[in-house]
Amino acid sequence: MDTMRTAAVITVSDSASRGERQDESGPLLASLLREAGFDVRHAVVVPDDRARIAARLRALALEGVHLVATTGGTGLGPRDVTPEATRDVIEREIPGIGEAMRASAWPNKPHAMLSRQTAGIRGQTLIVNFPGSPRAVEEGFQVIAPILRHALDLVAGITEHRPN
């Protein structure tokens, strides 16, 4: 990336927030973002609580973080509410990001179609949900990495329209 973009990682996990389980996916996601040229300003763990997730997303967008990546809370469990919290916050949804992650995973992992991650924008912040497992984080990041720069440019109003 030409300019340093900022990022934040939110791990959504009841057990990790209580210290009962070590968070592996959040640090992995932060590392992948750094390797891609992001300045990771925040990495936090929050419980599976819709209001708390939404409040953290709003605060990071208000701070002007370019990309907020969440991991966890995208399954079918009764406390998996990350997509709902994200939809509470975003102004425009970008369904293709979650669709691309699921589509790339499901041929080898049919359970991937049960993941409900989404993405969208709030102001000039791109918010992307990743599943909770380290392997799914790594695979999902590889899927969307090629479009991140362009997506962030568009969110910031930087466009280059070329006639066909």
Q: What is the pLDDT of residue 2?
A: 53
Q: What angle do CA 142, 126, 40 make, to 5 degrees?
A: 70
The string of pLDDT tens digits covering residues 94-134 is 999 999 999 999 888 889 999 999 999 999 999 999 999 99
**Domains of the chain: residue spans and CATH:** 5-155 (3.40.980.10)
Let me know: does 126 contact 67? Beta carbons within 8 Å.
yes
Burial of 82 (0-12, 13-18, 19+ CB in 10 A): buried
59-93 confidence digits (pLDDT tens): 999 999 999 999 999 999 999 999 999 999 999 99
